[in-house]
Structure 1
Amino acid sequence: MPDDAATWRFLHDRQQISDCLARLARGEDRRDAALISASFWPDATTDYGIFAGDFAAYLAWVVPGSDAIAVTQHILGQSHVVVEGNGARVETQVSAYHRIDACKGARDVWLGGRYLDVMEQRADEWRIIRRMMVYDWFRDDGPSVDWSQGLMGMAFSGPDFTGRAQGDVSTAFSRAANRNIRSSTGWDS
């Protein structure tokens, strides 16, 4: 039978690792430097195959991001986590959508692969110290849908229903949830 304190510590560590990965995906999708910075140690390095460098260079590459990439959405799958003391090796499945406008009109592209993260715990906080992206597949879905036409032939009732990399309704929603504040609409506080 496992030691209760050791079991709880292991579960606590795994949850912090999971929270870090989710925070980073949200930060990258929103181009939010604070969320991204809270996910990496300042002395971290990254290698995405198309970009490699230290954390400062990575952050400058991701924020503000390319104007040609209006929207991204990173969908995290299962993670295989091996915790060894104050270190961990984490492989996380990822699918990522990107709306790219390369001067030929917007296109929808998808890629899939795995993040290979080396994480360290410092002062009871887990963050990434080294990340590598391994690609398994890529798909170009062609021209993007024109959101001004609504969805499936039905017009949107307002501007908040389409995603953007920055400034969309989910930013206000999260701020309100984090402060546990409700406004008259529930979205704009």
Structure 2
Amino acid sequence: MSADSADSADLDGLIARERIRDCLARLSRGEDRRDADLISAGYWPDATDDHGIFLGTFKEYLAWVVPGAPTIPVTLHTLGQSLIQLQGTTAVVETHVTAYHRITIGDQDTDIVLGGRYLDRMEERDGEWRIIHRTMLYDWLKDFGPSVDWSQGLLGMPFLTDHSVGTAQDDHSETFFERG
């Protein structure tokens, strides 16, 4: 293999890895915003999903995650490192995730954070990488008890704008990205 072809293969690998990371980031944003279009852009239509508490086709997963449970009004998925093993037009990917969930139990909101890993089998089709199968592994969970009352501001200081606190249904970042 010549140096030029090795450099080209290295560049192709870097581009593929970055496209995979971008797919995963957009998917997490879609799940946090319950945005069916963003989530759909992360999975192939013939994909399957195993979240442990959900197992099924992508179509079934999408119906489960959007609009989401009314008892879970807010989520925030933060992705860590990804180990990406490219195998031509397929890849196996492990990505660490820390996920915050606000859960309503009765008339009380509770905050929990869990840590785990996504194990994704991904395929490239027509230059686009998406998930063909996802498995969620759970490593830890912490219950932080009652949620903060944001109507009181932050640390005794009132919010000066009405867009300081985001939710899946009302998130200032949506207009932020629309303006570019």
Shorter chain as denominator, the TM-score bin is over 0.9
Alpha-carbon displacement from aligned partner over 1:28-69 (angstroms, at most 9, x marks no partner): 000000000000000000001111110000000011111111
How many residues align? The count is 177
Where does residue 128 of structure 2 map in the other structure?
Answer: 125
> Residue 108 in 1 paired to residue 101 in 2?
no
Please give the alpha-carbon distance, in whole angstroms, between the structure 2 residues aligned to 1:107 and 1:88.
37
Aligned partner of 2:173 among 170, 173, 176 = 170
Gaps of 5+ in 2: none
**1:60-139 aligned within 5 A:** 60-139=63-142
Which residue of 2 is the match for residue 32 of structure 1? 35
Could you tell me how far 1:104 is from its partner in structure 2? Answer: 4.0
Q: Give the Cα–Cα distance (whole angstroms) in 2 for the partners of residues 47 and 62 of structure 1.
A: 13
* Residue in 2 that maps onto 1:184: none
Distance in structure 1 (CA, Å) of the matches to 2:123 and 2:178: 28
The reply to whether residue 58 of structure 1 matches residue 81 of structure 2 is no
Render the CA deviation track for 1:91-117: whole Å, top value 9, x for unaligned: 000000001102140000000000000
Deviation string 1:104-144 (CA, Å, 9 cap, x unpaired) is 40000000000000000001100000000000000100000
The CA deviation at 1:176 is 1.3
> Deviating runs (4+, > 4 A) in structure 1?
none
Structure 2 residue identity aligned to 1:143? P
For 2:17, the equivalent position in structure 1 comes to 14
Q: Secondary structure at the match of 1:13?
A: helix
Residue 158 of structure 1 pairs with residue 169 of structure 2: no
Partner of 1:48: 51
Which amino acid letter does the alignment assign opposite residue 61 of structure 1? Answer: W
Residue 148 of structure 1 corresponds to 151
**TM value normalised by structure 2:** 0.96
C-alpha distance in 2 between matches for 1:44 and 1:103: 35
- Corresponding letter in the other structure for 2:48: T
CA deviations on 1:62-84 (whole Å, 9 max, x unpaired) are 11111111110000000000000
Matched residue SS, 2:177 = helix
CA distance in 2, matches of 1:166, 1:96: 18
User: Identity rate of aligned residues, in percent?
Assistant: 58
The alignment yields a C-alpha RMSD, in angstroms, of: 1.0
